[in-house]
């Protein structure tokens, strides 16, 4: 098993790894819309969604993969009424064949962000 850590994605804010590689699978911890260079939160739904997917892409790059190798995502959103807007941004970052996905509304997320997303991906060959 290998631990993945990069300064191009938010540092862990608890006792967990940014990602772990087991065999050829990457298990990425949930990413929230922290801007790694400043530590600030992106503001507004669209900016937060873009930052989350950018953070995921950067984390996957550090692990030897990319968004095209994601096989499963779990998206946590604060308000299901935002599903359509988040879905449109999601579709710009993931291409067909799309990963399997779960999307759930939750009562609260770390730092009161509007969404968080975790992924499972395959290391590029």
Residues with active-site annotation: 103
Residues 6+ apart with CB under 8 A from 82: 45, 114, 115
CA atoms within 13 A on the CB side of 116: 18
Q: How far is CA 51 from the centre of its chain?
A: 9
Where does the chain show beta strands of DSSP type E?
2-4, 19-22, 25-31, 70-77, 100-105, 115-122
Residue 80, beta-bridge partner list:
none
């Amino acid at each position: 098993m290998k631990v993945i850590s990069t300064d191009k994605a938010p540092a862990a804010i608890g006792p967990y790894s940014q990602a772990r590689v087991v065999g050829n699978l990457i298990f990425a911890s949930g990413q929230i819309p922290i801007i790694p260079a400043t530590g600030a939160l992106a503001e507004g739904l669209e900016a937060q969604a873009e930052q989350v997917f950018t953070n995921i892409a950067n984390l996957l790059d550090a692990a030897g993969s990319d968004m095209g190798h994601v096989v499963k995502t779990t998206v946590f959103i604060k308000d299901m009424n935002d599903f359509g807007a988040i879905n449109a941004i999601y579709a710009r970052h993931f291409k067909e064949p799309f990963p399997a996905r779960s999307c759930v509304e939750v009562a609260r997320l770390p730092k009161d962000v509007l969404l968080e997303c975790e992924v499972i991906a395959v290391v590029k060959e």
